[in-house]
Structure 1
Amino acid sequence: MTLDRTAFFPGGGGQPCDIGRLVWEGGEANVVRLNRADGEVWHILEGALPAEGVAVVGHLDWVRRYQLMRTHTALHILCGVVWRDYRAQVTGGNMEPLRGRLDFEFESLHQEMVREIEEKINAEVAAAREVRVQTLPRDVAFQIPDLIRTKINLLPPAITEVRTVEIVGLDLQADGGTHVANTREVGHVRVVDYKSKGRINKRIEIALDAGLV
């Protein structure tokens, strides 16, 4: 079903969709999945649907959403550090609550380098950098150097406005996901694995602590 407005994130850019429930007079149903189609966000419900036109209240699974916000911002910190200090582009990525990965166009990646990257990530967390979101006309956005940090530009030509996420003083890139307002909300970040995925493709996996809500 669709709503006239919603706080549920439908997923995209490697970030999973929200889950939760919808409540209305005389009923409720779990939101188990979301899809985006034809400019609409479709809420896939488990259970009976409310009648058309009925007022509903959405309840996000906030703990899960906030964990994804922290994880997504942590990945942007990782991306920002790697681009600033190593000029490596992103070739892929994915995330789940409190855990994520990015693949970079590195020819080599070794333990000392990974340890250095982890230290730099946590220095940026401790720096308490503001995270700003804005939407710009496409032609204005594309005048920003290095706005598209992926190896391939995934923005469809039909997109006329570009949403940007800026970690002030570190990173600015096009992004459609959800984020915390300040890097200190991310908490401690651990690099839990790294591996080669090809000659010039290296993966870095991170994990966050669960304590912050």
Structure 2
Amino acid sequence: MKTKLLYHTNSFTYECTATIVAIEGDDIALDATAFYPGGGGQMADRGIITWENQDYPASVISMHKRNDIVWHSLDYPPPPLGTKVVGTIDWDFRYQMMRTHTALHILCGIIWKEFGIQVTGGQMYPDRARMDFAMENLDKERINYIEEQVNTAIEADYPIRVYSLPREKAFAIPDLVRTKINLLPPDIEEVRIVEIVGLDLQADGGTHVNHTREVGGIRITKTENKGRINKRLEIMLDSYNS
């Protein structure tokens, strides 16, 4: 049994019809889902699941992925196994996560390109995000330069491509994994690639926008010294007008 991950092929999918294939208490597994279950610093999607003869929509209160199955925890007793349901994500929240995730890829792409520095961690929040780097020097001049270069890349409107490659072919790409520790499972057979064409290419499992201008712009709002060679940058997004 395996859940088809619709967000992997199209991050703009916000609704889908699916069948319940397993139930554990108030948790349901579906044969397909548009909900991103969280991971890699990106927050899980929010939203509702509906079906026929339901008193009110069931909110998805949490999610987790176990092996190849995505589980959706509901605030409402689920219907029987085999029931057709409709899952609808909170699109505003998802799009914010997509813009934020792409912004972080631009940030680490610029820092790698300019300074050859790896990522040591990261996390997204509804209103901001942070990324940690194996960086010794982070003075005001460098902060301003990084912010300027990131916003220049956003404005350049690079297209973003998402595709998968066989493991051997993927790992033949230099610097594919930008984190200091390789977090990819050792038994993975296909590697999902997110490429900001002309700027950055990384292994990644999250959701992204289609071109960099959708990010809108970023501001580095806070920095922290997390160790002699570990610095944290916190960013916020500017608005995007399509």
Give the equivalent residue in structure 2 for 1:5: 32
Q: Deviations over 1:132-191 (max 9, x none)?
A: 101111111000000000001111211111101000111001000000000000002100
Listed as ranges, the matches of 1:21-40 within 5 Å are 21-27=48-54, 28-40=57-69
| SS of residue paired to 1:74 | helix
Deviation, structure 1 residue 107: 1.0
Give the equivalent residue in structure 2 for 1:44: 73
Listed as ranges, the matches of 1:142-161 within 5 Å are 142-161=171-190
Letter in 2 for 1:200: I
Superposition TM-score, scaled by structure 2 size:
0.86
Gaps of 5+ in 1: none
Distance 1:148 1:79 in 2: 11
Deviation, structure 1 residue 212: 5.3
| SS of residue paired to 2:108 | helix
| 2:207 is aligned with 1:178 | yes
| SS of residue paired to 1:155 | coil
Work out whether residues 217 and 239 of structure 2, in 8 Å CA contact, stay in contact via their aligned partners in 1. no
Work out whether residues 50 and 85 of structure 2, in 8 Å CA contact, stay in contact via their aligned partners in 1. yes
Give the equivalent residue in structure 1 for 2:226: 197
Gaps of 5+ in 2: 1-27
Give the equivalent residue in structure 2 for 1:72: 101
| Percent of residue pairs identical | 56
Distance 1:163 1:201 in 2: 28
Superposition TM-score, scaled by structure 1 size:
0.97
Aligned counterpart for 1:105 among listed residues 123, 126, 134: 134
Q: Considering only aligned residues, what root-mean-square deviation do their CA atoms show, in Å?
A: 1.1
| SS of residue paired to 1:56 | strand
Letter in 2 for 1:8: F
Greater relative contact order (CA < 8 Å, ≥ 6 in sequence): 1
Distance 1:54 1:36 in 2: 21
Give the equivalent residue in structure 2 for 1:168: 197
Deviation, structure 1 residue 51: 1.7
